[in-house]
Chains A and B, each alone.
Chain A
């Protein structure tokens, strides 16, 4: 759906992005991961032409994005920022109505869509008449997401969307967003520097350094088939946790429940073990799980 080819961007004498290419398939979540200054945000901003590349092309559904007015292009692409970017002088209701108004929607249609999103995002309708400053950080980020989803754009760009939140809020919002049906269907490019976040949210991860792509692939690819030392080293610190999270139970124990990671299974086992009397007699134990995981890794 999105195809970037040989993007180059220089700021003065420093090269922010050095000839990178990638594809994002429809409905896929691509995570741009890397330390600050690696060029991930610049890459993201080139997709909705907030930054124009010095050379290279981006195709959206097969057409060059430069064939459209930047304003028209942007109205069709959702954009979520780290500091939510809500207008401080607009109420919540007015903030989320910005793009619909640019597209000249009927206000009844806007209202209906707002109600729908408020429900899905667990937002209290009472905050509609409040100003952003009166909301909590979590609420602000939800409103920011609601605003970007209002006109149901097929593509969503997210620039460190959870970066300004505290740890607990971040983890719970992340979980919520991951299962949100509005997001599941969308083609998303998300920028983050948080490895956990990348592995949790991404279908594929594009690990960048100094303006170049180090590796692009599924979380498993990066973990188990690192393209180079940089990739391996980058993940080393959190390797075990990432592995447990990215390997599915059915992969190591064929025939078990689907779509549960080893990590999730461990968590529930550990909780059950706190009350040994309740444990089902013949079920999986931590020990057997670890043995299976270790066998899977050595395979």
Chain B
């Protein structure tokens, strides 16, 4: 069976991809590091000369360091688009602080008597810098560069979110697809890379420099950086560019299906759904993989392409709950089912729009909706026990979790703890099976294809059969995991391919088949 593939089989099978990602990872790390060294070392020297500046400069570099990586990447999209450029800039900014600080500290720690002697013997300022201060500061400076390298190897995994490649493609793809081999195939090389680079730099650190021969040091660096430009994803800028999430790239009902069923030939990059819609809106991407109820569809004026060959199975949302919890609190099932049937696709899209675009809080949106549907009851402030609700890390799940919270508080004597923002499907589902949460909203298609991973025959059999899929997952989950699927809420949040409305209309593309033909004939 192919799902019990070993790690080595996976690595063998994906070795091309693995090498590409590793080289891209090295390229991103090294280029940003070299740029950081080129800027940060002179800045460090400058602030060692002009003490007054040191506070401000180290402060600014420190603030840059504290910006969450994914936020920094997101901020850069409007200016630099997607791909390696914003990733390198972000990594560069992260590498600045350790290098500036250690250059500064290293020079400040040089014995003043030695500098005084050098001056007194008639060395010029440049000679003092290159023959005395930098060589003596070198071990400290190198320690800073090592820190920056290790940070950059780690942060560079996030480059996969903005189509810059790197080992993050496997790591995030693996998390989204519940594929441990894939996670390890990304995580192990990344860890090895950090260890190896750090070790190599530790050898450099031990060199006793009589004088910094600037040219000798810069040459190999320039060589490496020039060569690593070849290794980065260069395919950006083709006729039409598809940007798909790591999860979509690896799914049978995603990119794999598009290739095998539709024979879709499009250049692709891997990107996070957090920035994907915006990138499409700003013409950085032409086709993206989205969710059909996503509020951003409305906000960015995107349309979904018709899935005329039915590769995207229906994704009805329903709470999945551990049977133990239902045994303990039997009243819960009826309470949670109150939501069933009250939300269709367009209502969900509208609710998502409020959260994603109008920036209303999920709590407020959920409350407004519950009140309007007369499902709201004031909290009974019960003390019978606690129910833990989980959610994945996007708006729709936040809203649903809040709605369930309102229902439970108003109708039972239980209190509620919400654990929202649990990464991808794997993280959420693992939390459920490991008794970290009691239930969360899941989608039938995800449960079917990602969590159960049935064989091809079963998939074929149930294709397009909405009820069949629900029945199948209900039974299988009950048997395999002791988990119950409650009644579907009513809307279908399936995968969809999306394009900008004006582009789709001008090219007369309405379905995925139209897109395939357009790409073939061009």
Contacts and interface: CB of A to CB of B under 8 A. Distances in A.
Q: Which of A71, A82, A157 has the most CB of B within 10 A?
A: A71
Given A87-B114, A88-B111, A79 B121 contact: yes
Interface string A91-108: 000100011001000000
A235 B118 CA distance: 36
Interface in B133-167: 135-136
A99 B124 CA distance: 12
Contacts of B136: 88-89
Given A71-B122, A74-B121, A99-B122, A81 B209 contact: no
- Mostly, the B contact residues are helix
Nearest to A132: B114
Interface string B198-214: 00000000001110000
A48 interface: yes
Given A89-B136, A89-B210, A81 B120 contact: yes
A73 interface: yes
A87 B118 contact: yes
A215 B270 CA distance: 84
Nearest to B208: A89
Contact of B122 (A75, A82, A87, A90): A75
Nearest to A91: B210
A82 B135 CA distance: 23
Contact of B210 (A48, A90, A99, A157): A90
B111 to A, nearest CB: 7
A99 B123 CA distance: 8
Nearest to B119: A50
Given A89-B135, A89-B209, A102-B123, A83 B113 contact: yes
The range of chain B's interface size is 10 to 19
A57 B210 CA distance: 37
A72 interface: yes
Interface in B94-142: 111, 113-114, 116-124, 127, 132, 135-136
A299 to B, nearest CB: 45
A85 interface: yes
Contacts of A102: 121-123, 127
Q: Which of B116, B121, B208 has the most CB of A within 10 A?
A: B121
A114 interface: no
Contacts of B127: 102
Interface in B10-55: none
Contact of B120 (A48, A88, A90): A48
A15 to B, nearest CB: 22
Contact of B123 (A71, A86, A88): A71
Contacts of B123: 71, 98, 102
Interface in A3-61: 48, 50
A81 B121 CA distance: 11
A83 B123 CA distance: 18
B120 A74 contact: yes
B122 A72 contact: yes
Contacts of B210: 89-90, 94
Nearest to A73: B122
B114 A50 contact: no
Interface string A146-185: 0110000000010000000000000000000000000000
A28 to B, nearest CB: 21
A186 to B, nearest CB: 16
Q: Which of A71, A87, A102 has the most CB of B within 10 A?
A: A87
Nearest to A48: B120
A75 B121 contact: yes
A110 to B, nearest CB: 14
A148 B120 CA distance: 10
A70 B113 CA distance: 18
Contact of A81 (B117, B132, B135, B208): B117
A178 B82 CA distance: 75
Nearest to B117: A85
Interface in B390-439: none
B302 to A, nearest CB: 62
20 contacts: A72-B122, A74-B120, A74-B121, A74-B122, A81-B120, A84-B113, A85-B117, A85-B120, A86-B117, A87-B117, A87-B118, A87-B132, A88-B111, A89-B210, A94-B210, A99-B121, A102-B121, A147-B121, A148-B121, A157-B120
Interface of B: 111, 113-114, 116-124, 127, 132, 135-136, 208-210
Given A85-B120, A86-B117, A98-B123, 13 more contacts: A50-B116, A71-B122, A72-B122, A81-B113, A83-B111, A83-B113, A85-B117, A88-B136, A89-B135, A89-B208, A94-B210, A98-B121, A102-B123
